[in-house]
Structure 1
Amino acid sequence: MIASGALLAAFALQFVFAAVGAFTQPAEDGSYRLHSITGMAVMPALCLVTTLFAALARAPGRVIALTLLPFGLVLLQVLLATLASAFTGPSGASTPLGLTIGGLHAVNGIIAVHVVAGVLREALKPAAQPSMAGTSA
């Protein structure tokens, strides 16, 4: 539950870090540094830790699979960002294809947040269910 909550916080902060990069004036190479570090190191590590904890907690296979989905979406994010940067014009200016791929990067980020919210909901379910230990049959 703590790992999935930290993962959701990291995904939410990614939007803040992207905005910091977008609104930094003048724009420079390091404008997206926080966004990049979080996306390339922190989030993948938290994804794997969340999956590990789900397996150690003996969560149902469906839940463990759900915890792996954000890791795949993070890998897709890296691919989309790389492709968006690759599709620039000869002068380094944006192209319609590069901008479209960049837009897909944002959409994938939104989808990833919703998936991680689902992971957190699944992690909270056992805590919300009443314990059977104190009841007699």
Structure 2
Amino acid sequence: MRKAFVIVSTLLLASFVLQFVFAAVGAFTKPAGDGAYALHSVNGTAVIPVLTLLTILFAVLAKAPGRLVGLAVLPLGLVVVQALIAMLANASTDVAGGSTPFGLTIAGLHAINGIVAAHVVVGVAQAARKLARPAPAGADPVTVREGEPA
């Protein structure tokens, strides 16, 4: 299960990297129509949440320490915050539907929250790899949860 935890957390990290790429694709698409952010939207609303849930599941099945399971759960909350920030930014337009300073400020928070989420996912992937490493020869088994040997 630990190898599966490593694989799924690495896929989640790759999906986060692609999310930034897809945001850039949307930002630089000319002319920018409704579909400019389609890849970013699908990845952020479907792929990332599914991979996050799988990461949580495999962290639990791998008997990861509670702190690591909690860290694996954190991106799910940050994804929910992302959606709320995006909705608020999109709703913060003027009467003609144009951007407002408030809406643009909120949109900036969307980017910052994405960076925080990506940073958390890097930590989860690194910790998953560390957890999956075999113990050195002759070493006592690592206890990952109190009372449960690795």
TM-score bracket for the superposition, by shorter chain length: over 0.9
Q: Which residue of 2 aligns with 1:20?
A: 25
Q: Which residue of 1 aligns with 2:125?
A: 120
Shift of 1:130: 2.6
Task: State how far apart, in whole Å, the 2-side matches of 1:75 and 1:101 are.
Answer: 15
Q: Which residue of 2 aligns with 1:95?
A: 100
Unmatched segments (≥5 aa) in structure 2: 1-5, 141-150
Once the two structures are superposed, what CA deviation does each residue of 1:56-91 show, in whole Å capped at 9, x if it has no partner? Answer: 111111111110000111111100000000000000
Name whichever structure is richer in helix by fraction: 1
Give, as a single letter, the amino acid of the residue that structure 2 aligns with 1:117. V
* Contact residue 64 and residue 131 of structure 2 kept, 8 A: no
Unmatched segments (≥5 aa) in structure 1: none
Once the two structures are superposed, what CA deviation does each residue of 1:79-135 show, in whole Å capped at 9, x if it has no partner? Answer: 00000000000001000110000000000001111000000111011234534xx52
Q: Which residue of 2 aligns with 1:41?
A: 46
Task: State how far apart, in whole Å, the 2-side matches of 1:85 and 1:127 are.
Answer: 42
1:1-137 equivalences under 5 Å are 1-128=6-133, 130-131=135-136, 134-135=137-138
User: TM-score scaled to structure 2, two decimals?
Assistant: 0.86
Give, as a single letter, the amino acid of the residue that structure 1 aligns with 2:59. A
Number of corresponding residues: 135
User: TM-score scaled to structure 1, two decimals?
Assistant: 0.94
* Contact residue 26 and residue 40 of structure 2 kept, 8 A: yes
What is the DSSP-based 3-state SS (H/G/I as helix, E as strand, rest coil) of the residue aligned with 1:93? Answer: coil
Aligned CA-pair RMSD:
1.4
Q: Which residue of 1 aligns with 2:146?
A: none
- List structure 1 runs of 4+ shifted beyond 4 angstroms: none
Shift of 1:136: 7.7
Query: What is the identity percentage for the equivalent residue pairs of Structure 1 and Structure 2?
Result: 59
Task: State how far apart, in whole Å, the 1-side matches of 2:124 and 2:118 are.
Answer: 10
Q: 1:136 to 1:11 in 2, by over 3 A?
A: closer
